[in-house]
């Protein structure tokens, strides 16, 4: 039983529409994933910025306390009972400084971790974008060759085996 030209054209048009709809759906899914990665990277960058501000604040606090210690040392030296007061005050300020340094070290470590996490997310996003572009382009090229009546697996054997990192 032979199909007429009109029937063949109708079937071909439907298959092209299905292919286009499939690619549109895939494009939307990958766009959502890229948007999700962008949002998480932005949140991490904001958190890194906040940690930098906290580290700067702690540095300023340490400098301020050291300055106050020097000022107080000079004032207390003039008093009769200054040695005892000076020693206690000095110990208290040194303890506060060591606590602030410890907190600063923790924030710096956390900041380094967040930076590595941002870099990893950016690498993953770049790799996904490249992979998505290759998939989309392969599908487009296959659809074009199908429309022309050719078998795409014979023309580009490296694409028919799966995208193994080779960009078109």
Residue at token pair 């107080």: 72
The pTM assigned to this predicted structure is: 0.41
Which residue ranges make up each domain of the chain?
Answer: 5-160
Residue 104: what pLDDT?
Answer: 92
Q: What is the model's pLDDT at position 17?
A: 75
Judge whether 100 and 62 are in contact, CB under 8 Å: yes
Is residue 80 exposed (0-12), middle (13-18) or buried (19+ Cβ within 10 Å)?
Answer: exposed
User: 5-160, what's its fold?
Assistant: Helix Hairpins (1.10.287)
Determine the pLDDT at residue 74.
77
Tens-level pLDDT at each residue, the chain (168 residues): 455 655 565 556 567 677 777 777 776 677 667 777 778 888 888 888 888 898 899 889 889 988 988 888 777 666 656 677 778 888 988 999 999 999 999 999 999 999 999 999 999 989 988 888 788 778 788 877 877 776 555 555 554 445 445 544
Separation between Cα atoms, residue 13 and residue 79, nearest integer Å: 99
């Amino acid at each position: 039983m032979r199909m007429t030209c009109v029937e063949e054209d109708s079937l071909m048009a439907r298959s092209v529409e299905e292919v286009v709809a499939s690619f549109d759906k895939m494009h939307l899914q990958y766009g959502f994933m890229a948007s999700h990665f962008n949002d998480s990277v932005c949140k991490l960058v904001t958190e890194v910025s906040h940690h930098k501000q906290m580290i700067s604040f702690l540095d300023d606090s340490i400098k301020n306390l050291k300055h106050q210690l020097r000022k107080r040392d000079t004032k207390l030296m003039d008093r009769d009972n200054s040695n005892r007061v000076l020693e206690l005050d000095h110990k208290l300020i040194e303890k506060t400084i060591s606590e602030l340094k410890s907190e600063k070290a923790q924030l710096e470590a956390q900041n380094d971790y967040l930076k590595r996490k941002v870099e990893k997310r950016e690498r993953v996003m770049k790799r996904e974008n490249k992979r998505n572009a290759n998939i989309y382009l392969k599908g487009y090229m296959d659809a074009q060759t199908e429309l022309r009546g050719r078998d795409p697996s014979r023309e580009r054997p490296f694409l028919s085996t799966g995208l193994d990192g080779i960009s078109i």
